[in-house]
Structure 1
Amino acid sequence: MSMLDREILALMRDVTETAILPHFRSLSASQIENKAADDVVTVADREAEELLAAGLSKLNPGIGIVGEENAHANPAVLDLLSGPSWIIDPIDGTNNYAGGTGPFGILIALADGGLAQSGWIYDCQSGRFCAAHRGDGAYVDGERITAQTSGETPPVAAISTVFMDQERRAAAMKHIAPHYRLVDIPRCAAEQYPRLALGENDVSIFERTLAWDHAAGALWLNEAGGRVARPDGSPYRVDEPDRTGLIGAASPALWDDLAARYAVFEA
């Protein structure tokens, strides 16, 4: 494990113990706010983001910081994604967290030129730590891993339709769902991406593709030997905040199969 990985892990653990777990299952109604339709924010999200931003600023003071909650309050922050930037999701899976369930985690990425260069995923409940650096492979708890499929026929799919409108949801169920065994989505990218590399799920479709949800996980799965890309095959970029649609798969072959079906779904 690199020195940077150790420093990021220590920061994630500290913020989990200081700001996240103390509020878990003890949030009052006034500490949970509706940020958008089917999307909430808690006092723990804001506290965690402040602590993470402060810690990352110490690691590299010259890099911009794009946190989910700060960007929601001030969309101009998204302009930083075109240059060197830390990208923070302080609690990924906030709906689960606010409801007193899991999974939930912390996502951090280091991006430059619109592409994630490093990414880290921390499971706040189990302590699982995933790390990746562009061109250097993917790791779980310091051990290099290679993505593996479930081995099931049909393949296992977790399709996120939460942010699809009714027409797109129906089209996905008609053109894509029959070819897979569908499983529930965890509503947590910090859990979904590991599932795609660790033999639990084979493919996923993500409709909303905000940088704090996908920068770390997309890099990590690609470095593990799976594939994450836009449905047209173009790479995922963190500086495209308004673009929708992303496919993740445990192998390039599974990605190709789903992308072909996605093209029919989009037609």
Structure 2
Amino acid sequence: MADSPEVLQGYLEKAELVARKASEIVDEALSKGERRDASIKGINTSDLVTETDLAVEKFVFEELRNYYPDHKFIGEESVSSGGGSCTLTDTPTWIIDPIDGTSNFVHGFPFSVISIGLAVNKELVVGVAYNFFQRQMYTARKGGGAFLNGKRISVSNVTELNKSIVITDYGSTRQDFEFIPKVEMMKALAGDPGHVHGIRTLGSAVASLCMVASGRAEAYFEYGVHCWDIAAGAVIVREAGGIAIYPTGSELDIMGRGILVAANVELAKSIVPILKHIDYPRD
């Protein structure tokens, strides 16, 4: 069976190996001081791409294709450049963000992640997220638990929103229709009554998801994310005991441009009524 534990474990081990090898490209760029060689992808100056992003994605694609020539691939940089497809089918599909948190990478802010997720029959089943600054390797497969550098991790046991840290972000596109509601949601969570312990923004969806999976934050939500931002991290959160859903409270839609993860159902139910839906085009 394509989704047997043994097969999924094999996928996971290959993805972890590829992520570690890909990090050598990043290390070389950092050693040469190349991290600041960035260009703007879109109309917003915060939407950046570097030669390292492109090199890492190319390497990951090639390595995984050598192992799995019949699989499909979705990558942030190839889709952004118009050279790749963003179509999810039942065929095993690797969903890759070569450097999630490119602005962080450019500035040396230590929350940048090589993210490799796998969907089989449109279900997320494998996640690998490597924070190369902090040498933190998060791994998970469906039914196998979640791990940080080989040690099992689990979500927080906090159930009250007013005892929680919640992560969110502005995103790289900041037009009024999206930026204003995001600020209002932060204000609603941080203000009285029943305000949270803190709101955090890390500049990386994958790093944020891993913070929830490892129990360092209780929840994370964001509108405007793409499938490559959440594919690996959603698996890691679920396997750490958390939940991953759409911000309206419905089932997570990989291509739906929004996510809410929480340590437990109680927290998720507390957060959903506070959020304001932002309508983005699907991936």
The one of 96, 112, 127 aligned to 2:104: 96
Residues 12 and 127, structure 2, Cα contact 8 Å, conserved in 1: no
Count of aligned residue pairs for this structure pair: 260
Aligned partner of residue 183 in structure 1, secondary structure: strand
Root-mean-square deviation (Å): 2.5
Of 35, 41, 44 in structure 1, the residue corresponding to residue 41 of structure 2 is: 35
Task: Give the Cα separation in 2 of the matches to 1:103 and 1:80.
Answer: 28
Q: Partner of 1:21 in structure 2?
A: 27
The corresponding residue for 2:166 is 157
Give the residue type in structure 2 aligned to 1:61: P
Q: In the alignment, what sits opposite 1:209?
A: 225
Partner AA of 2:19 in structure 1: M
1:233 paired residue number: 249
Q: Kindly provide the amino acid, as one letter, of the partner of residue 34 in structure 2.
A: L
The one of 7, 15, 25 aligned to 2:14: 7
TM-score by length of 1: 0.87
The question of 1:252 aligning with 2:260 is answered: no
Report the CA distance between 1:151 and its aligned residue: 8.1
Distance 1:266 1:123, change over 3 A: closer
Contact 1:150 1:199 in 2 (8 A): no
In structure 1, C-alpha distance between the alignment counterparts of 2:235 and 2:120, rounded to whole Å: 13
Q: Which 10-residue stretch deviates more, 174-183 or 192-201?
A: 174-183
Q: How does 1:178-193 map to 2 (within 5 A)?
A: 178=191, 179-193=195-209
Identity %: 25
Distance 2:117 2:35 in 1: 31
Candidates 124, 137, 144, aligned match of 1:116: 124
Q: Does 1:168 align with 2:175?
A: no
Kept after mapping to 2: 8 A contact 1:149/1:197: no
1:129 matched residue in structure 2: 137
Give the match's secondary structure for 2:166: strand
Q: 1:143 to 1:169 in 2, by over 3 A?
A: closer
Q: 1:101 to 1:166 in 2, by over 3 A?
A: closer
Structure 2: give runs of 5+ residues left out of the alignment: 1-5, 279-283
